[in-house]
């Protein structure tokens, strides 16, 4: 009888392979005139720690009383715990520990048996000690605000310039986690319906690449990590990683999951398009919505930082102002085509392979293929038509579209002031340049900046594009036959100059 085993840890070291063990044991058998009746091999993986071959071997030995010699390489190959030792001892067989040059049998002197017992205990304590060290190291990492394990969904493990193992936002998947929280916080979804929505948005299981499971979504929605917190064992630490959501949003989602929230489908039949988007320009507080006379939606400063001079504003007024802001992105087909040229045909032309290489070198996670550039252009196209589509979109989509275009909005003295996300900031600059007649020189700053942005997008820009893609994918299904979707709107004819 031959038994060999490798553990996950062993596989990383050399000379611990199964073939090496088996060969050693076969050679030993040949040398000593033993015939191998049966061989049993256990290969442990991180996923599966069970030892099926060990069990088979025991059954075989019980069924075949004529097989009385067991060959193994070393003590720690055979036993993983004290219990294994007792079981083998009960069988009353002879065990040859080939590498240790030791035969355990009933004929052994008691001192030999004793020494063997010590070896078993030491092997066990060695393993215990190793895992204790590893556990200590991980807890220490968590204390420093570093995630000590495989990155949660939406993040990736990378090594930072100083050689530290850190966790960064995955530019493609991270924004989808933010979306999940946003959607769920609206109170419109159950776990089942949000799973459906997530699948439509193309969210897949990380390893399986199958449509995401609702259990995974539940775990994501429960994970504090996304709000910047490291929960390790019993302890909670402030993480150094970039959060994908605010702590307030995390709390809101927990309330809904726990059934503590009044935000649910029945209690909140009306949604507010602009809540959470606008800050008060006087005091920086959020502007919140409220229904008056059961009909009109008004927004006002929460006034958390003392009495605020800003007055209430009607939702319709805000929508007009947003439309006026979006009008700055409006451009003709001719202008837009020109801009596409600036992005795509800029010089010097960059080889896609070279792009990918540069992208990886910067520590980004995914190559930047042409598809990304096409998505980027669709994203810009959405923005230039947004002034027209805003009014016709369903409430939830209004908010999402504005979130994709604007990075900040302030309301003060009856005026809306905004900051565009970088791509649209550049679009506005580019339009100004083209329209004031300074031409379409590709070397000119706005052109060059646009080109650079999309040929080698920053993680932030990639996130915006991923969010945009997810939204379009959802709308393609949701909006069928219903209200206008953003996608429908970009299929409309472009405008004349």
Whole-angstrom distance, CA of residue 181 vs CA of residue 186: 9
Residue 272 CB, nearest approach to Zn ion (Å): 17
Quick count: other Cβ atoms within 10 Å of Cβ 336?
19
Residue 306 CB, nearest approach to Zn ion (Å): 9
- Exposure of 421 by Cβ count < 10 A (0-12 exposed, 13-18 middle, 19+ buried)? buried
| List of residues 6+ apart from 101 with CB closer than 8 A | none
DSSP 8-state assignment for residue 2: E
CA 348 to the chain's CA centroid: 35
Cβ contact 409:277 at 8 Å = yes
Pairing relationship of beta strands 94-97 and 69-72 according to DSSP bridges: parallel
Residue 277 CB, nearest approach to Zn ion (Å): 15
Residue 273 CB, nearest approach to Zn ion (Å): 20
Q: What are the C-alpha distances in Å from 311 to residues 273, 301, 413, 438?
A: 19, 8, 8, 43
Cβ contact 287:301 at 8 Å = yes
CA 184 to the chain's CA centroid: 17
Residue 186 CB, nearest approach to Zn ion (Å): 25
Whole-angstrom distance, CA of residue 238 vs CA of residue 143: 8
Closer of 188 and 282 to Zn ion (Cβ) = 282
Closer of 282 and 444 to Zn ion (Cβ) = 282
Closer of 205 and 284 to Zn ion (Cβ) = 284
| List of residues 6+ apart from 186 with CB closer than 8 A | 263, 271, 396
Pairing relationship of beta strands 406-412 and 313-314 according to DSSP bridges: unpaired
Residue 312 CB, nearest approach to Zn ion (Å): 12
Which structure tokens are listed for 380?
A: 């810009």
Paired residues of 297 in beta bridges: 291
Which structure tokens are listed for 494?
A: 């472009």
Give me the active site residues, please.
Answer: 7
Whole-angstrom distance, CA of residue 115 vs CA of residue 122: 11
Closer of 301 and 450 to Zn ion (Cβ) = 301
Cβ contact 187:265 at 8 Å = yes
Whole-angstrom distance, CA of residue 28 vs CA of residue 215: 51
Pairing relationship of beta strands 296-301 and 313-314 according to DSSP bridges: antiparallel
Closer of 272 and 454 to Zn ion (Cβ) = 272
Q: Which residues bind Zn ion (CB under 5 A)?
A: 280, 282-283, 285, 301, 308, 310
Residue 278 CB, nearest approach to Zn ion (Å): 11
Residue 448: φ, ψ to 5°:
-60, -40
Residue 286 CB, nearest approach to Zn ion (Å): 9
Closer of 401 and 409 to Zn ion (Cβ) = 409
Closer of 285 and 350 to Zn ion (Cβ) = 285
Closer of 279 and 462 to Zn ion (Cβ) = 279
Rounded (10°) CA dihedral 421, 423, 424, 425: 80
Mapping DSSP to helix (H, G, I), strand (E, B) and coil, where does residue 434 land? helix
Residue 304 CB, nearest approach to Zn ion (Å): 8
Name which of 109, 37, 114, 28 is nearest 74 in CA terms: 28
Per DSSP (E only), the strands in 29-145 are: 39-43, 69-72, 94-97, 102-104
Which structure tokens are listed for 56?
A: 């088979």
Closer of 257 and 288 to Zn ion (Cβ) = 288
- Quick check: bond before 348 cis, omega within 30? yes
């Amino acid at each position: 009888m031959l038994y060999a085993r490798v553990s996950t840890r062993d596989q990383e070291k050399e000379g611990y392979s199964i073939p090496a063990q088996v060969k050693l044991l076969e050679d030993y058998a040949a040398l000593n005139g033993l015939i191998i009746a049966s061989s049993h091999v256990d290969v442990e993986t991180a996923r599966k720690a069970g030892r099926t071959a060990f069990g088979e071997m025991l059954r075989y030995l019980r069924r075949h009383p004529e097989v009385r010699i067991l060959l193994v390489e070393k003590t720690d190959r055979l036993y993983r715990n004290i219990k294994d030792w007792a079981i083998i001892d009960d069988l009353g067989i002879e065990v040859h520990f080939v590498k240790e040059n030791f035969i355990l049998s009933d004929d052994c002197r008691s001192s030999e048996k004793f020494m063997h017992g010590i070896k078993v205990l030491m092997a066990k304590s060695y393993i215990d000690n190793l895992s204790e060290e590893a556990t200590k190291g991980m807890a220490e990492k968590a204390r420093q605000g570093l995630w000590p394990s495989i990155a949660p969904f939406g993040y990736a493990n990378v090594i930072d310039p100083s050689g530290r193992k850190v966790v960064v936002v995955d530019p493609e998947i991270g924004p989808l986690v933010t979306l999940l929280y946003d959607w769920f916080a609206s109170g419109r979804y159950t776990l089942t319906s949000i799973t459906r929505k997530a699948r439509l948005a193309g969210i897949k299981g990380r390893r399986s690449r199958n449509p995401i499971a609702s259990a995974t979504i539940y775990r994501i929605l429960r994970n504090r990590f996304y709000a910047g917190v490291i929960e390790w064992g019993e302890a909670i630490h402030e993480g150094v990683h970039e959060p994908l959501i605010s702590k307030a949003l995390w709390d809101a989602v927990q309330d809904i999951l726990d059934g503590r929230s009044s935000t649910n489908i029945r209690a909140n039949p009306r949604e507010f398009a602009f809540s959470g988007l606008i800050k008060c320009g006087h005091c920086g507080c959020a502007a919140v919505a409220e229904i008056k006379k059961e009909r009109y939606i008004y927004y006002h400063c929460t006034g958390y930082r003392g009495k605020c001079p800003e007055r209430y504003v009607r939702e319709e007024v805000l929508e007009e102002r947003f439309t006026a802001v979006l009008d700055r992105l409006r451009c003709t087909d001719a202008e837009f085509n020109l801009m596409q040229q600036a992005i795509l045909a800029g010089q010097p032309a960059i080889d896609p392979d070279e792009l990918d290489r540069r992208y990886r070198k910067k520590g980004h996670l995914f190559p930047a293929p042409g598809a990304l550039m096409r998505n980027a252009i669709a994203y810009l196209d959405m923005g230039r038509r947004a002034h027209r589509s805003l009014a016709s979109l369903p409430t939830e989509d209004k908010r999402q579209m504005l979130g994709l275009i604007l990075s900040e909005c302030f309301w003060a003295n009856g005026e809306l002031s905004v900051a565009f996300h970088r791509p649209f900031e550049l679009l506005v600059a580019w339009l100004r340049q083209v329209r004031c007649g300074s031409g379409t020189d590709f070397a000119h700053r706005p052109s060059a900046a646009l080109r650079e942005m999309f040929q080698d997008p920053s993680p932030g820009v990639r996130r915006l594009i991923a969010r945009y893609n997810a939204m379009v994918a959802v709308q393609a299904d949701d909006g069928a036959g219903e209200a206008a979707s953003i996608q429908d709107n970009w299929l409309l004819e472009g405008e004349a100059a």
